[in-house]
Amino acid sequence: MQIDEQYVDTSAGIGIASFPEHAQEVGQILSYAENAMHISKLKKSGPVVFRPEFDMSSNVNLTLASELKNAIINNQLKLFIQPKIDIKTRKVSSAEALIRWAHPSKGMIYPDQFIPFAEQSGLIREISLWMIAEAARTQAIWLLNHINIPIAVNISARDLIDSDLANKITTILNTHNIKSNSITLEVTESSIMDDPQRAKLTLLSLANIDMKLSIDDFGTGYSSLSYLKELPVSELKIDKSFVMHMQQNENDRIIVNSTIELAHNMGLKVVAEGIENLDTWGLLDEMGCDYGQGYYMTKPIPVTDFNSWLQTWH
């Protein structure tokens, strides 16, 4: 919308809680709805219905949030890897770094169960830097073993408003003697649109140190194409929600095909997420998609197992 000759990007988060399913008291229902609203704003995925794990005031979640602060120090965060495969040649082109929390008593905790805490508390910045450092350390080990595969790391909306992010990353890369173009930073379309101007400045500063940049989960946000073409990105990842069902859903097929054509016209490479079978792979090949990622190739695996998997991939 336009306010006093200034264009302002707006968005809304919708949280839902109901009586008597979630609570008996009006105040508690409103509190739960607000919690769900915050999750909706973080995920940018439309209305969100309250679930108990959203309640930051619950004893379980307060304990998890507190323990998360010590997880990095205690070496409980673990790096997992999911490769990106060249659709035409079937060669591994790169890999995405993913995070898991190896909790001492609760077992392996997936990111959707603790990243919302990290986002709300601001700890996400520390986790992002940990991910980048682990990716750089892994790159150094791979290069010693003659494995030259770039690694992609996700960064958050909070990272995009950190004006010193490029300097922090440079320090990490220098520590491990890794070139900046060996690491790709993935940022979701919706994270960029949280604060488009500051995000653009941060992305430009990252491009100035030769970082490769990728737009993740494309199609789930509200960015304009005119804005995207101003960003120094080289890759676009189509969200799995469009890819997984495109065999049965003609609209999804049209969206995926159009996105691939659009990205190529803008000089961008395209990664399709959520490939779960050979037929989907074949459709993407026909559409000219560059790279693919999904359970058809492999689920995310511990970084320590990646070399073994690489030997078996054909």
pLDDT in the model for residue 21: 77
| Interval 178-201 mean pLDDT | 89
pLDDT in the model for residue 312: 92
Give, in order, the Cα–Cα distances in Å from 290 to each of 31, 107, 188.
45, 36, 19
Q: How far apart are CA 271 and CA 273, in angstroms?
A: 6
Q: Are 313 and 293 in contact (CB under 8 A)?
A: no
b/e per residue 48-80 (b: at least 16 CB within 10 A):
bbbeebbbbeeeebeebbebbeebeeeebbbbb
Q: Are 148 and 142 in contact (CB under 8 A)?
A: yes
Q: Are 266 and 54 in contact (CB under 8 A)?
A: no
pLDDT in the model for residue 7: 43
| Interval 75-101 mean pLDDT | 96
Closest CA to 178 of 216, 148, 215: 148
| Interval 82-90 mean pLDDT | 97
Q: How far apart are CA 92 and CA 121, in angstroms?
A: 36
Share of the chain above pLDDT 90, in %: 60
Closest CA to 195 of 166, 159, 170: 159
Listed in sequence order, the residues at least 6 apart from 61 whose beta carbon sits closer than 8 Å to its beta carbon are 53, 55, 117
Task: Give the pLDDT band (50/70/90) at residue 224.
Answer: low
Region of residue 313 (phi > 0: left; psi between -120 and 50: alpha; otherwise: beta): beta
Which range has the worst mean pLDDT, 49-63, 136-150, 215-229, 264-278? 49-63
Q: How far apart are CA 259 and CA 263, in angstroms?
A: 6
Encoded tokens for 209:
């140190």
Q: Indicate the pTM of the whole model.
A: 0.81
| Interval 249-254 mean pLDDT | 94
Q: Which CATH number fits domain 64-312: 3.20.20.450, 3.90.226.10, 3.40.50.720, 3.30.460.80?
A: 3.20.20.450
Residue with tokens 């601001």: 122
> What does the mean pLDDT of the chain come to?
87
CATH 3.20.20.450 occupies which residues in the chain? Answer: 64-312
pLDDT in the model for residue 72: 84
Task: Give the pLDDT band (50/70/90) at residue 251.
Answer: very high
pLDDT above 50: residue 6: no
Q: How far apart are CA 124 and CA 71, in angstroms?
A: 12
Encoded tokens for 299:
């689920």
pLDDT in the model for residue 45: 58
